[in-house]
Chains A and B, each alone.
Chain A
Amino acid sequence: MRLRAVAALAAAAAIMVAAAAPAHASVREYWVAAVPVTWNVVPNGHDAIMDESFTPAQTLFPTVVYRRYTRGWKHPLPNSMAGSQPGTAIPGPLLHARVGDRILVHFKNEDTIFGQPHSMHFHGVHYRPISDGAYLPGFSGRDGDVKPGQTWTYRLQAGRDSTGAWPYHDHSPSMDQSIGGGMYGTLSILGPRERAPDREFVVYFEFTKGFATVDGRAFVGNTPVFRSRVGDLVQWDVLALGSEHHTFHVHGHRWREQGTPRDTKTVGPAESFRIRWREDAPGTWLYHCHVEQHMMHGMIGIYRVSGRRG
C-alpha cells in the first residue's frame, strides 16, 4: 500500500517535471507575412517643433511590411507586444525568445502591389544556410527568394551567444527597395535566467520616403509615444538600417556601460543594442538621434513616465 503511494507520487512528480521542461527550452513558432499597406510617415501632418506642415501627398506611400499572424496565417495580429507601441506596421513584429529556444518563423509572401520576392534574414541566432534568408545566385535556395504566394520556414536556434535585441530584414533580390519601405523588425532574446522587462521599446533608425524616421515615422507625436511608470524595469531595443550612423539619446536618463555612465550611444547599419534601467524619473522626455540633421528631419519622439502605480 505504502509502496503504491510512493510510486503514484513519483509518477505525478515525473509528469510535473515533464510539463515544466518546455518552459526552459521551448519551440517558439511565429507566423509572419509580407503584406501591402499604405503607410503615412507623418500622420498628424506637421513637424510640431519647427512648425512645418506636410500634405498626405508628401508623406503617404504604398509599401510592403512584415505582419504577424495567428497559426496558419489565419488572422492578423498586432505587431507589437503590450507596453510597446500599438497599431504599428513598421517595424515588423517584435519576436521574442530565450537562450536555448528553437525558433520557427513561417513566412509567406503576399506582396500583391509590387509582385517582388521577399525573405527574412535574422541576425544574432544560429541556423543552417537554408535558413539564412539571403539571396546569392547559384548558391542560395528558396529561403532567400520567396516569390509572391510562396512560403518558407526559417529554423533558428537561440544560442548562448544570442542574448540581445537583433535586427531581421529582407535579404531577397528586392532588399534595396523593401528595407527602405519598412521590411525590418526585431528579434529580442533574453538570457537563460534573465528577467523580462516590464516595458520594451523598439527604436529603429532608418530613412523612410526621404524623412529621418523612428519606426517609420517622423517628428514628435508621429514617432512612437513610449510610456512607463516609476518603478518599471524598462528596456530599449535600439537598432538601425540604411547607410548612416545614429546616436541614440534619451533626456533625463543615464545608464552604465562597463561601469561608465552614458546618456548617448552610437548605432550603425544593422547594429543593435539593449539598454535597461529601473525607471525613477517621472515626466515627459524627448528621445532622439543626436545627429542633428537626422533629428531635424524627424528622428525624434517623446517618452512619458507617470508616477508609481497606486
Chain B
Amino acid sequence: MSIRTLIAATLVAALAAVPAQADTVTVAISDFHFTPPQTTVLAGDTVGWRNGSFINQHTVTSAGFDSGPIVPGGGFFHDFADPGPQLYACSIHPFMTGEVDVYRLLLHGPDRAVARGAATAVSGRAAAGVGPVSIEEDTGAGFHAVATAHTDRGSFRATVHPNANASYRAVSGTDASPPVQVEVTDVSQFKLRKARGRLRVHVDPLNPGARVSLQLRLRERFGWWTVARARLDARSSASFPIRLRDRRNARARVVLTQSDGWTALAVSDAVRIRARRAHR
C-alpha cells in the first residue's frame, strides 16, 4: 500500500468516523441515588455513570448489560442502540434504580414560556436512517402536523407559532419523539437600557418580528405619545434613537403592539431618558 493510498484510506476512515450527532449523557452516582434517575437519549448515544461516592462501590445492572463493581471515582459507559425503556439498578444496593429511555427522534423546545403566536424555534436530533421529519402539535384535540423540519446530518429544526399551551413532537414514519411542552404567555417582560444616545429594549418572552413603539410622556400631548416605531429582531430586541424636542429629559416607555401598530399587548415601566443635546 502506497503512502498516498494509506493517507486516502485514513481520510475515508476519519470521515466515516464523524459521529452521527451522537451524544454522551452523564449520570452521577452519589448518596445512594442515580442522578438524574431518568434519562432520555437518542439511539446511538452513550450514557456514562460516574461513582461520586467516597467509600461505596456500586453497579449499573440491567437485563442487557452489567457494569460490575464501580469503585469510588470510577465510571462505566454503555452505548444504547435499540429504542425503548431500559430499567437498571445497583446489584449491591437494589433500592437504587434508574431508567434510560431510548428514542430514534428527540425534540427540544424553548426553555421558557413564549409570547402567544410568536415564531418559536424547535430543534432536535434523528438517529441514523430516520427519514424526513415533520413537527406535530397537540393543544388538546390530538396531534396534527404543523411544520416540516429541515434536516441536516441528523439534526433538524423548524418554526412553530403556538397560540395556546401545546405539546409538540417530531414524527417520521412510525418513529416519534417524546412530546415537549410549550407554554404560552401574554405577560411580557421588558428590559430597557440607555446607551450612546439610544434606548435599547429586550422583550421576554422572545417575540421576533413583533412591533414595538417608543412613547414619551409629553405635556403638550396630554399623555403618552408615540415618537418612534421598530420591530423586534431575532433576539427579541430593538433600539430607538433618543431625540427630545425642546427639552433635556423626558419619561419614556416601550409598548409591544399588535400588527396594527397601536393596540397595546404589553407596556414597559417608564424610565427617564436624557438627550445628549436638545434639538428641534
Contact = CB atoms under 8 A, between A and B. Distances in A.
B224 A44 contact: yes
A220 interface: yes
A302 B220 contact: yes
Contact of B221 (A38, A56, A57, A221): A221
Contact of B262 (A40, A220, A225, A284): A40
A40 B264 CA distance: 13
A222 B223 CA distance: 10
Interface residues of B, number: 13
A141 interface: no
A46 B222 contact: yes
A304 interface: yes
Interface residues of A, number: 18
Interface string B247-280: 0000000000000111110000000000000000
A149 B264 CA distance: 34
Nearest to B227: A87
Nearest to A86: B245
Interface of A is mostly: mixed
A60 B264 CA distance: 12
B41 to A, nearest CB: 50
A78 interface: no
Contacts of A221: 218, 220-223, 225
Interface in B167-226: 218, 220-226
Contacts of B218: 221
Contacts of A304: 220
Contacts of A45: 223
B225 A43 contact: yes
Contacts of B225: 43-44, 221
Contacts of B221: 44, 221-222, 225
Contact of A48 (B223, B226, B263, B264): B223
Residue with the highest number of chain A CB atoms closer than 10 Å, among B221, B222, B223, B226: B222
A60 B258 CA distance: 12
Contacts of A302: 220
Residue with the highest number of chain A CB atoms closer than 10 Å, among B223, B226, B264: B223
A44 B263 CA distance: 12
A57 B226 CA distance: 17
B260 A38 contact: yes
Nearest to B220: A225
Contacts of B262: 38, 40, 43, 56, 60
Contacts of A222: 221
Nearest to A39: B262
Contacts of A46: 222-223
B222 A44 contact: yes
B103 to A, nearest CB: 47
A56 B223 contact: no
A43 B226 contact: yes
Nearest to A55: B263
Nearest to A48: B222
A302 B261 CA distance: 26
A56 B220 contact: no
A44 B220 contact: no
Contacts of B261: 38
B223 A44 contact: yes
Nearest to A222: B221
B263 A60 contact: yes
Nearest to B225: A44
Contacts of A40: 262
A60 B263 CA distance: 9
A284 B218 CA distance: 14
Contacts of B220: 221, 225, 284, 302, 304
A304 B225 CA distance: 17
Nearest to A221: B222
Contacts of B264: 56
Contacts of B263: 56-57, 60
25 contacts: A38-B261, A40-B262, A43-B225, A43-B226, A43-B262, A44-B221, A44-B222, A44-B223, A44-B224, A44-B225, A45-B223, A46-B223, A48-B223, A56-B262, A56-B263, A56-B264, A57-B263, A60-B260, A60-B262, A60-B263, A219-B222, A221-B218, A225-B220, A284-B220, A302-B220
Given A56-B262, A304-B220, 4 more contacts: A43-B262, A44-B221, A46-B222, A221-B225
Sorted nearest first, the 9 A-B pairs with minimum C-beta distance are: A221-B222, A48-B222, A44-B223, A221-B221, A56-B263, A56-B262, A225-B220, A40-B262, A60-B262
Interface of B: 218, 220-226, 260-264
